[in-house]
Amino acid sequence: MSANEDQEMELEALRSIYEGDESFRELSPVSFQYRIGENGDPKAFLIEISWTETYPQTPPIISMNAFFNNTISSAVKQSILAKLQEAVEVNLGTAMTYTLFEYAKDNKDQFMENHQPVNSTIPISSIISVETPNTAPSSKKKEKKEQLSKAQKRKLADKTDHKGELPRGWNWVDVVKHLSKTGSKEDE
């Protein structure tokens, strides 16, 4: 069989095996992602496998560059990729995407034993301290705008129609007056 026929058969098999599995995602007919571990698990990681044109005779491209893996140190990523490459060499020439995903699932704890989450986010305390002064004055301003006296409300109601909209032309400039001022300059 040619490489394309092998890929078509494996693609069909992957679709049927992982149908309904939320961890599996087909990015394209030759590129797949699988989340190892549950959502919210600090030791969960995402593997992306992309087939080359001559796959399975040549190794697929395995990547862990997904945003999901940002908390994993590069040393742990390299370790996982090295172990997956060993599995690739053993399975070269056969359909191996399913095998690699299952190998990663079976060895997740071993892969992540040296994992220490890398904190690449801003601490929440600094966000709170920055936002707190800004939120307090704006809430006070809103309260002042909402409190109108009866006379102010009556005056506002008299200016608007029954829908609360101002009548057409309420802010128009007296056109005749305006043109008489500008027209006199043009006459000179």
For residue 90, what are the CA distances in angstroms to 11, 79, 100?
20, 17, 11
Per-residue burial over 11-39, b if 16 or more Cβ lie within 10 Å, else e, is: beebeeebeeeebbeeeeebebbbbbbee
Question: Which comes out higher in pLDDT, residue 92 or 180?
Answer: 92
Model confidence at 92, pLDDT cuts 50, 70, 90, reads confident
pLDDT score recorded for residue 174:
67
How far is C-alpha 116 from the geometric centre of its chain's CA atoms?
A: 23
pLDDT score recorded for residue 164:
67
pLDDT score recorded for residue 127:
39
Domains of the chain: 3-112 (3.10.110.10)
CB atoms within 10 A of CB 152: 10
Model confidence at 104, pLDDT cuts 50, 70, 90, reads confident
Model confidence at 162, pLDDT cuts 50, 70, 90, reads low
3-state DSSP helix/strand/coil % of the chain, to nearest 5:
50, 10, 40
- Summarize the confidence of residues 35-62 as an average pLDDT: 87
Give the C-alpha separation, 73 to 55, whole Å: 29
Kindly report, residue by residue over 112-157, the tens digit of the pLDDT: 877 776 654 444 444 343 443 444 444 444 444 567 788 887 877 7
pTM above 0.85, yes or no: no
pLDDT score recorded for residue 122:
42
Percentage of the chain beyond pLDDT 90 is: 2
pLDDT surpasses 50 at 33: yes
